[in-house]
Amino acid sequence: MNETSNFNGFPGECVRFLFELHHNNNREWFNEHKSDYDTFVKVPTQEFAGEMAKILEELSPAEDPAQQVNFSIFRIYRDIRFSKDKTPYKTHIGVWFWEGKGPKMENSGYYFHLEPPNLMLGTGIHTFSKTLLKAYRDSVVDPEYGPELEKAIEKITQQGQHSIGGKHFKRVPRGYDPDDERSGLLLFNGLYAGVEIEIPTELYSDKILDYCIEKYRDMIPVHYWLYDMTGRAATS
pTM of the model as a whole: 0.93
Q: Is the residue at 29 inside a domain?
A: yes
**In CATH, what number is assigned to the domain containing residue 85?**
3.30.930.20
Task: Summarize pLDDT for 72-81 with one digit per residue, the tens.
Answer: 999 999 988 8
Query: Do 168 and 185 touch, CB atoms closer than 8 A?
Result: no
Give the separation between CA 33 and CA 31, rounded to whole angstroms: 5
pLDDT range class, residue 65, cuts 50, 70, 90: low
Q: Which helix (H) or strand (E) holds 188?
A: strand 188-198
Give the count of beta carbons closer than 10 Å to the beta carbon of residue 50: 14
Q: Establish if 127 belongs to a structural domain.
A: yes
For residue 1, tell me if it sits in a domain: no
219/231 Cα distance (integer angstroms): 19
In a domain, 140, yes or no: yes
Q: Give residue 160's region: left, alpha or beta (phi > 0; psi -120 to 50).
A: left
On whether residue 152 sits in a domain, the answer given is yes
pLDDT digits (tens, 9 = 90+) for 165-198: 999 999 999 999 999 999 999 999 999 999 999 9
165 neighbors 194 (Cβ within 8 angstroms): yes
pLDDT of 104: 87
Tell me how far apart the alpha carbons of residues 210 and 163 are, in angstroms, rounded to a whole number: 21
Please list the alpha-helical segments (H only) found in the chain: 12-23, 27-32, 34-36, 43-56, 130-141, 145-157, 207-235
| Structural domain for 127, as ranges | 12-235
Q: Name the burial class of residue 48, with classes exposed (0-12), middle (13-18) and buried (19+) by CB atoms within 10 angstroms of its CB.
A: buried
E-only strand ranges, 65-187: 70-73, 93-98, 109-115, 118-125, 163-167
Amino acid at the residue 93: I
2 lies in some domain: no
Chain centre distance of CA 102: 16
Question: How far, CA to CA in Å, does 69 sit from each of 52, 65, 66, 99, 226?
Answer: 9, 11, 10, 5, 15
Tell me if 6 is assigned to some domain. no
Report pLDDT digits (tens) over 15-64: 999 999 999 999 999 999 999 999 999 999 999 999 999 999 988 887 66
Whole-number Å distance between alpha carbons of 111 and 108: 10
Q: Which residues make beta-bridge pairs with 118?
A: 115, 198
Number of domains the chain is built from: 1
